[in-house]
């Protein structure tokens, strides 16, 4: 792999790059302008659900500071910004017969206009985990396929109608694996349901995640169908889903660990519980063998809508796992993950998040794997690193986030190698995240920002990683010319 870049390896002029965030992680102002509660509002307030006991009421105060955020994006010179819309700002009670909140529409509308005025392309996620609480209370939210699919499609429709004249890039769902497995299997994310009664009074980890997964795929697929049938011909946008997935390598060469790594890809990392139905039209065999009739069946009619329901492969990826057969975690397909190699060395530098180490070659491998398997252009919609103990570091030292710079030096170089040496068609890259923000069950302790947020003052300070990404990786060049020269030399 090329360690350094040459001019010919800079990104094509239509390559989309920018930074990403999500509504509940940054907006705060949970109680203003008619917003209804989301399932994270109360969940994050239950003692023990977030590491620091903090909630999303203020977050990075971006509902108030949106102009400042756009200024920052413009200063960074990004081409695009990936953000999400809070369903419960648009329809406070969530449902198809519930009132629409004009103030919510106005907020995102002026936000989109302001981005466009700065030449920044809005890249919009419709659902980044903040289900309206009212739908959860009314009929069980994602557990009720008949209702939720219709309500989600109605919400999507309002968004296409309100913003689709200006938004040309839609993501229906962020990381449905997390929605189903973390929300209804492990019970660590809202609504926090699972079989462990110490954690949750209700829930069934052996069935609910798959019911939820099924609803989420169908809601996505019918929202895409609606867009394609009724909006695309006038609005000319593209739409797809974004899935989480980390690269899996066998712990050693033993046949069972080689098989385990493939099973991890099939099963646990989130690609195939969604990707195979969406892109190939069926669940992977290894999942069917383990889960049997727990996997809900698509009717032939549903399958027609699900198959081919994404214009591109939306990919969020952070790390690589070494895989060993065994363990009791069905959500990982009975595969144990480790970062420690057989010789005792670590795969890479450890992040603050226990599940994350810096291992750039895995990023290149994953891009190749997904491109070969699904044969669609890839949009990398998240990729990032939490520096260990960053919350404890003093200013201005904290701004010199060398480990994050190292991470992005690696991933951007892997990205180039995948594109220019391996021929993978990657069309977009969004590092996570524009800002330090509400890191779900971690509260504010774990920081993924390229911009440091001082939560006492809400002031934003660019970290070295932001400078690295804007100045080094994407340096636009007279590409065509450089390429021609390189070819003729
Ligand atoms: C992204 O998910 C989210 O989209 C984003 O909102 C978040 O801020 C960002 O990651 C950083 O965390 O140890 O069993 O709890 C990344 C995918 C999948 C990574 C679940 C963490 C934890 C598994 N995530 N995984 S577990």
As a whole number of angstroms, the longest Cα–Cα distance in the chain is: 69
What's the average model confidence in pLDDT over 358-362? Answer: 98
pTM, two decimal places:
0.95
Give DSSP secondary structure letters for 200-227.
-SS--TTTHHHHHHHHHHHHHHHHHHHI
Rounded to 10 degrees, what is the CA torsion of 162, 165, 167, 170?
Answer: 70
Is pLDDT at 7 greater than 90 in this prediction?
Answer: no
Domain ranges of the chain: 7-245+293-318+353-488, 246-292+320-352
Predicted confidence (pLDDT) per residue in 130-163, tens digit: 999 999 999 999 999 999 999 999 999 999 999 9
Q: Which residues contact residue 97 at a Cβ distance below 8 angstroms, ignoring those fewer than 6 apart? A: none
Give the homologous superfamily in CATH for domain 7-245+293-318+353-488. Answer: Glycosidases (3.20.20.80)
Contact predicate 425/363, CB 8 Å: no
Alpha-helical runs (H) found in 375-488 = 402-416, 464-468, 479-488
Q: Which of 27, 382, 403, 439 is catalytic?
A: 382
Whose Cα sits closest to atom 22 in ligand 1?
Answer: 355
Rg (CA), the chain: 21
The reported pLDDT for the residue numbered 472 is: 54
Q: Which atom of ligand 1 is nearest to the CA of 386?
A: 11
For a pocket test of ligand 1, which of 382, 387, 390, 449 has the largest count of ligand atoms closer than 8 A to its C-beta?
382
φ/ψ of 110, rounded to 5, equals -70, -30
Predicted confidence (pLDDT) per residue in 163-221, tens digit: 999 999 999 999 999 999 999 999 999 999 999 999 999 999 999 999 999 999 999 99
Interatomic CA distance for residues 264 and 131, integer angstroms: 28
Predicted confidence (pLDDT) per residue in 249-283, tens digit: 999 999 999 999 999 998 755 656 788 889 888 87
Contact predicate 368/420, CB 8 Å: no
Contact predicate 180/209, CB 8 Å: yes
382 is catalytic: yes
Is pLDDT at 71 greater than 70 in this prediction?
Answer: yes
Cis bond before residue 381 (omega within 30° of 0): no
Paired residues of 357 in beta bridges: 350
Predicted confidence (pLDDT) per residue in 235-247, tens digit: 999 999 999 999 9
Whose Cα sits closest to atom 6 in ligand 1?
Answer: 22
């Amino acid at each position: 792999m090329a360690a350094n870049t040459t001019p010919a390896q800079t990104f094509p002029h239509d390559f989309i790059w920018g930074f990403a965030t999500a509504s509940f992680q940054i907006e705060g102002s949970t109680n203003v302008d008619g917003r209804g509660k989301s399932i994270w509002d109360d969940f994050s307030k239950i003692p023990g659900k977030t590491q620091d006991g903090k909630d999303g009421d203020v977050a990075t105060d971006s509902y108030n500071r949106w102009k400042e955020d756009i200024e920052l994006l413009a200063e960074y010179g990004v081409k695009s910004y990936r953000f999400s819309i809070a369903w419960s700002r648009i329809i406070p009670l969530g449902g198809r017969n519930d009132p629409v909140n004009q103030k919510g529409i106005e907020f995102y509308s002026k936000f989109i206009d302001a981005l466009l005025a700065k030449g920044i392309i809005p890249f919009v996620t419709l659902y980044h985990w903040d289900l309206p609480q009212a739908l959860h209370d009314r009929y069980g939210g994602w557990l009720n396929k008949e209702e939720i699919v219709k309500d989600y499609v109605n919400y999507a429709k309002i968004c296409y109608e309100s913003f689709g004249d200006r938004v040309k890039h839609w993501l229906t769902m962020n990381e449905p694996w997390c929605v189903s497995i973390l929300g209804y299997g492990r019970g660590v994310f809202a609504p926090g349901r699972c079989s462990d009664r110490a954690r949750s009074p209700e829930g069934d980890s052996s069935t609910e995640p798959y019911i939820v997964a099924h609803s989420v795929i169908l809601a996505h697929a019918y929202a895409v169908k609606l867009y394609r049938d009724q909006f695309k011909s006038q609005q000319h946008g593209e739409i797809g889903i974004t899935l989480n997935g980390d690269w899996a390598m066998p712990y050693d060469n033993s046949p069972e660990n080689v098989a385990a790594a493939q099973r991890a890809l099939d099963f646990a990392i989130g690609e195939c519980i969604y990707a195979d139905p969406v892109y190939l039209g069926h669940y992977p065999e290894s999942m069917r063998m383990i889960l049997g009739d727990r996997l809900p069946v698509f009717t032939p009619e549903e399958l027609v809508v699900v198959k081919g329901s994404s214009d591109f492969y939306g990919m969020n990826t952070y790390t690589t796992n070494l895989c060993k057969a065994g363990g009791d975690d069905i959500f990982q397909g009975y595969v144990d993950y480790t970062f420690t190699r057989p010789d005792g060395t670590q795969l890479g530098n450890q992040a603050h998040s226990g599940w994350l180490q810096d291992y750039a070659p895995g990023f290149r491998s994953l891009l190749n794997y997904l491109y070969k398997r699904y044969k669609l252009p890839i949009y990398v919609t998240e990729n990032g690193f939490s520096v260990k103990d960053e919350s404890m570091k003093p200013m201005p030292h904290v701004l010199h986030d060398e480990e994050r710079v190292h991470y992005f030096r690696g991933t951007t170089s892997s990205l180039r190698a995948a594109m220019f040496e391996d021929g993978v068609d990657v069309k977009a890259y969004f590092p996570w995240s524009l800002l330090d923000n509400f890191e779900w069950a971690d509260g504010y302790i774990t920081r993924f920002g390229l911009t440091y947020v001082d939560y006492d003052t809400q002031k934003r300070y660019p970290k070295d990683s932001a400078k690295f990404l804007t100045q080094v990786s994407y340096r636009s060049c007279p590409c065509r010319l450089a390429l021609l020269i390189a070819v003729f030399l």
